[in-house]
Amino acid sequence: MQAEVERELARLGGKTACVVVRMAEGGPEELVTRNADMVFPAASLIKVPLLIEVARQVEFGLLSWETRYTVSDAARVGSDGVLADISLGLQPTLRDLAHLMITISDNTASNMLLDLVGMETVNTTMRNLGLMATRIERRFIDFEARKAGRDNWTTAADMALLFSFFCTELLPCKDIMLEMLLRQNDYTILPAYWGEDVPFAHKTGGLPGIIHDAGILYPPNEPDVPLIIAVLTSDQVDEPLTRLTLARVGRIIYSR
């Protein structure tokens, strides 16, 4: 599998990274590793660390999944999602905001959650979990911050480690978060050849020149032995080709 994945990703140019880990009964088994520690702009992958921090604060009683929040004009940002375009007065619950952030990558919901929990709190939690390269430095759709050099960052190794925690009892509210990740709406990248019926708890991410996909595949023939997959790309000049290549990588992984 390593050689096949390497060949596919090498055709893209730019920067690419991939980690695949089989969560076997005897312990994690690394199947693929390519540029695992290369740092990438995280794009919407950073929403998974944000989700985990939200769940952590719920667990400690600082937040509640059922609390409702007003979507103010100031909170609304364009791009992915629906909250920026709907009528004034809507009051989604915290759980609604988290669901929208993960399933359709709603950036208004994401910024509302980020304001609730705080950037540095997310960063501290990630460091405590051992994700040393994962950091959030800006709000979503803050392109001025990107121009100034502030961005959100991660690596394939960090994402693989983070998703591996969902296969343990380490994370609070794990089942609620997995339910959201399993409802991810974008099945056009890694799972494009699998079909939407194959369980894949994942999050995608994209910005100009950047396409990521990472999550937990539950193979139908062996659902109790999930695969953790993280594929990150940047400096790409052809988005359709990048998506197709990652879909081919997904097909290689799934067929093994």
Q: What is the token pair recorded at 77?
A: 């940002």
152-182 pLDDT tens trace: 999 999 999 999 999 998 899 999 999 999 9
Q: Which carries the bigger pLDDT value, residue 5 or residue 85?
A: 5
Residue 80 reports pLDDT greater than 70:
no
Beta bridge partners of 227: 22, 217
Residue 87 is given by DSSP the state P
Rounded Cα distance, 103 and 95, in Å = 12
Q: What is the pLDDT of residue 87?
A: 72
Neighbours of 132 (CB within 10 A): 13
The Cα-based distances of 200 to 67, 189, 213 in angstroms read 29, 12, 11
Q: What is the pLDDT of residue 126?
A: 98
Residue 11 reports pLDDT greater than 70:
yes
Residue 79 reports pLDDT greater than 70:
no
89-118 pLDDT tens trace: 789 999 999 999 999 999 999 999 999 999
Mean pLDDT of all residues in 208-220 = 97
Mean pLDDT of all residues in 6-21 = 96
What CATH number has the domain bearing residue 76? 3.40.710.10
Amino acid identity of 24?
A
**Pick from 159, 160, 140, 158: nearest CA to 150:** 140
What is the domain range of residue 192? 2-255
Average model confidence (pLDDT) across the chain: 94
pTM of structure: 0.95
**Number of independent structural domains in the chain:** 1
For helices 119-128 and 107-117, angle between their N-to-C axes, nearest 10 degrees: 80
